[in-house]
């Protein structure tokens, strides 16, 4: 059966996450599989590079699937987008890939972006697309705190108690914190890159660093929390609204 890779963008607010839900709740996987069933008789099962949580968005999720028919990738993309309407899900690209290519297991890295908007006024255009905080944040203090998390670490403190990963040990390759103007305030971006992430790891890290920026924590408190290897030592977990899966790296880009 021909195997295809899809690059998928979605607004996560209406969904209970990427993964199909046994309770019948809306999921991104379920929406794409339902669209596939309109093209070929199902059932269909697609595999994603990352199982994003409820409310989390993606600009470049990658999924793989096998189909009976040999589709021209552009026509497959167009047909899926037609059947996905009006769900806030779009197929940005489709590509024929080797039979041993797998969206999850072939990936070398994942990239996430978290958008935080600092301003007094409520969000309008970016409601459900960013986390708003009203108080000032010290970016340099957050950068100093973030530096303690780089490299090979035991991230027990920064993972959900529901995390199913076999080990809490991960290598965080990059975490950069930048800012840009935003109407009535400023927008702060947290960009993180690693081969893989634990459940709630990014949101736990950003929520903790926000406490550093607000002055409630000192930068060195981040290292103390990491060294504690105790979930109770973590700062608050920030909401999912501002989190985006922005890229997945492979030995060869299937969409190039």
Catalytic (active-site) positions: 53
Q: Cα-Cα-Cα-Cα dihedral of 228, 233, 235, 236, to 10°?
A: 140
Query: What do you get for the CA distance between the two ends of the chain, in Å?
Result: 22
Is the bond leading into 57 cis (omega within 30 degrees of zero)? no
Structure tokens at 208: 């903790």
């Amino acid at each position: 059966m021909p195997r295809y890779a899809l690059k998928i963008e979605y607004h996560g607010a209406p969904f209970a996450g990427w993964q199909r839900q046994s309770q019948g709740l809306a999921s991104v996987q379920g929406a794409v599989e339902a669209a596939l069933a309109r093209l070929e008789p199902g059932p269909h099962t697609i595999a994603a590079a990352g199982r994003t949580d409820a409310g989390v968005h993606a600009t470049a999720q990658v999924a793989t699937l096998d189909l009976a028919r040999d589709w021209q990738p552009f026509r497959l993309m167009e047909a899926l987008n037609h059947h996905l309407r009006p769900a806030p899900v779009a197929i940005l690209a489709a590509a024929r890939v080797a039979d041993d290519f797998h969206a999850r297991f072939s990936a070398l890295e994942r990239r996430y972006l978290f958008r935080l908007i600092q301003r007094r006024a409520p969000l309008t255009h970016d409601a459900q697309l960013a986390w708003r905080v009203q108080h000032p944040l010290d970016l340099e203090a957050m950068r100093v705190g973030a530096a303690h998390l780089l490299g090979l670490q035991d991230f027990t403190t920064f993972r959900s108690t529901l995390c199913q990963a076999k080990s809490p040990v991960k290598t965080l390759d990059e975490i950069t914190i930048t800012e840009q103007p935003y109407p009535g305030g400023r927008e702060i971006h947290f960009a993180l890159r690693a081969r893989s992430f634990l459940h709630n790891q990014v949101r736990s890290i950003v929520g903790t660093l926000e406490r550093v920026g607000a002055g409630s924590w000192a930068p060195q408190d981040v290292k103390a929390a990491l060294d504690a290897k105790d979930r109770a030592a973590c700062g608050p977990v920030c909401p999912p609204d501002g989190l985006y899966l922005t890229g997945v790296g492979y030995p060869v880009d299937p969409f190039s």
